[in-house]
Homo-oligomer: A and B are copies of this chain.
Amino acid sequence: MKRDASTSYTLGELAERIDARVVGDDTVRVSGLSTLTDAVSTDLAFLANRAYLKYLATTQAGAVLVHPAHGENCPCPRLELENPYLGYAKLSRLFDPLANQASQGVHPTAVVSPEATLGERVEIGAHCVIEAGVHIADDCVIGAGCFIGADTAIGRGSRLHANVTLYHGVIIGERAILHSGCVIGGDGFGFAHDGKGWEKIAQLGGVSLGDDVEVGSCSSIDRGALGDTLIGNGVKIDSQVQIAHNVQVGDHSALAGCVGIAGSTKVGRHCLLGGGVGLSGHLTLTDGVQVTGMSLVTNSILEPGVYSSGTGSMSNSQWRKNAVRFKQLDEIAKRLTRLERDIRDA
């Protein structure tokens, strides 16, 4: 795989893909994407945030994606559309060297069970191991060094980057993107205490991912104890995320880096969990809940909205004084109540 710098597109071609209006010469060609300030004459840039409007007039870009209201000072041809950021997203894939490569087929060093079934144009990288009963649908790319356990199924058009591990009995939907080092289907953390130590509970469920799911590097999604861990359609999961057994995440929710969700918690649809958020087990978060970074949620949230915990950061010397007072807070509140009463009664 080498970047093919020769791929370029006319503004007319690009406009058609995103239903934009070309203002200027629609035969101008661009071969890269960039920001307004970094762009060179062969790049398409975009203006998606009013804060960057000041850079428009001096951009060196060959063309710019821009909202119709902001096109005025554009020094080059432009593509006008209502949502330039979405337009940028949609076009970005054209400039990705990994996208749209022809399938390399099955590498001779891959170990593929004769009882696995592969669809059309499936690529299996070097040193992969594919066990019996696996089904990989058409147009999937399985990167080098991946392990796919028995009876696992992967929907069409999915990509596993190098060194992904899928345990047995996992279901991956269509167009999934799974990043290196992620592990799907490892055992949930289930033990019974026998009075002396821990007796393992075999984790007999699976994991099921809907369509259009992305999972970041080094994230883990554990298999269910009984019944499956369920990730809905269009769910986006960042790197270093931990999803415990029997968690459910609703469609189109997004989980930022380092999120941890404990067992059996249900996250609704269109939820946003900020980086490092922790959810206790057996909770329900309704649709449309947002939790800000590094908050801990220990109770169910039944109303949509934004939720937080923690304290803001401050200088350590200031923090020490206040943190000591936090330990006295109940006492402070009681003293205040007494004082109020004393004054009222005086």
Contact = CB atoms under 8 A, between A and B. Distances in A.
Interface in A144-186: 144-145, 147, 149-151, 161-163, 165, 167-169, 177, 179-183, 186
Contacts of A129: 125-127, 144-145, 162
A6 interface: no
Contacts of A291: 313
Interface in A275-315: 275-276, 278, 280, 290-299, 305-315
A327 interface: yes
A93 B307 contact: no
A132 interface: yes
A261 B168 CA distance: 31
A62 interface: no
Interface in A11-25: none
A202 B32 CA distance: 12
Contacts of A326: 311-312, 322, 326, 329
A102 interface: no
Nearest to A235: B198
Number of copies: 3
Interface band, chain A: 35 or more
A1 interface: yes
A309 B307 contact: no
Nearest to A346: B343
A201 to B, nearest CB: 4
Contact of A325 (B233, B236, B329): B329
Given A240-B241, A298-B312, 7 more contacts: A83-B192, A92-B202, A129-B144, A186-B217, A296-B310, A335-B340, A336-B336
CB-based closest 7 A-B pairs = A89-B192, A186-B217, A92-B202, A309-B313, A147-B162, A306-B316, A217-B220
